Amino acid sequence: MDEQFEQQKFAVLIDGDNAQASLLSQILTEVSKVGQITIKRIYGDWTTTNMNSWKDSLHKYAIQPMQQFRYTTGKNATDSALIIDAMDLLHNNDLQGFCIVSSDSDYTRLATRIREEGLLIIGVGEKKTPEAFVNACNQFIYCENLAVPQEPKKKVRRKRRRKEEEQETSDPLPLLIQGFEMAVKEDEWTFLAKMGNSLRQLDPAFDSRTYGHQKLQSLLKDYPETFVLNEDKTKQPPVITVALSPRYSRG
């Protein structure tokens, strides 16, 4: 996460018709890594049964439910209500960032508008989220990377699924090299955090967890022929820098 956004105020706006209640805790934790969440709202028609999964979370996480009736069958009024509120908050509150929780491409223009105002926009949604919405955000977090591991008795099934997912995931090395070169400029070494920021500029959905690693540092260690890492433990917290390995060949 970019240090300039630490401890700044964020609004988390959730499309209750298009998000997973089971991941709410993880979503709030991810945003809290960036700054302080001052506004938490969930939008939907609370008279319908499909919103029942959210009701237990409202008091636990102090989230304000926003009622939006479905006036026309087949039309989603939730996204319109969320967008209107977001624009009001954008101009009438001292916020430095937004988190939009949805896999719906209807929020693409909203994300773009927030970025135009110089605020940070984080998206959270499933991997089926249209690319336009993903790229409109500064950072996009896939719900699949937030899922809680299953019980040990399902370990074999989980390993099989993880292997299948890894086969479907493209090799991140070209992107990692591009992110390093973007961060390093004229120097031989660059800060790991700076490289992480460059990677998210190149691909807002970049996440080490997509490739089976909790941290970028761990992911880079999978490529000893390409990257060298150095950890300065004399500083608190330790500072990690990255360079290309002498064994790395562009040819």
- For the residues of the chain, what is the DSSP string, one character each? --GGGTTEEEEEEEETTSS-GGGHHHHHHHHHTTEEEEEEEEEE-TTSGGGHHHHHHHHHTT-EEEE----STT---HHHHHHHHHHHHHHHS--SEEEEE---GGGHHHHHHHHHTT-EEEEEE-TTS-HHHHHHSSEEEEGGGTPPP--GGGHHHHHHHHHHHHHHSPP-HHHHHHHHHHHHTTSSEEEHHHHHHHHHHH-TT--GGGGT-SSHHHHHTT-TTTEEEEEETTSSSPEEEEEE-TT----
79 and 184 housed in the same domain: no
Decide which of 145, 163, 197 is a domain's last residue: 145
In a domain, 131, yes or no: yes
Say which CATH number the domain at 223 has.
Answer: 3.30.420.610
Question: Do 17 and 140 share a domain, yes or no?
Answer: yes
> How many domains in the chain?
2
Round to whole Å and give the CA distance between 214 and 212.
7
Tell me what pLDDT residue 142 has.
Answer: 93
> What is the domain range of residue 102?
3-145
pTM: 0.73
Do residues 117 and 181 both lie within one domain?
Answer: no
Question: Are 100 and 183 part of one and the same domain?
Answer: no
Residue 78: both structure tokens together: 């939730």
Q: What is the pLDDT along the chain (251 residues), one digit of tens a residue?
A: 444 444 689 999 999 888 888 889 899 988 888 888 999 999 988 888 878 888 888 888 889 999 877 655 444 667 888 999 999 999 887 899 999 999 999 999 999 999 999 999 999 999 999 999 999 999 999 999 987 554 444 444 544 455 455 445 688 888 898 888 888 876 789 999 889 888 888 888 888 988 889 899 999 999 999 999 998 888 878 889 999 988 776 55
Same domain, 28 and 137: yes
139 and 185 belong to one structural domain: no
State residue 236's pLDDT score. 78
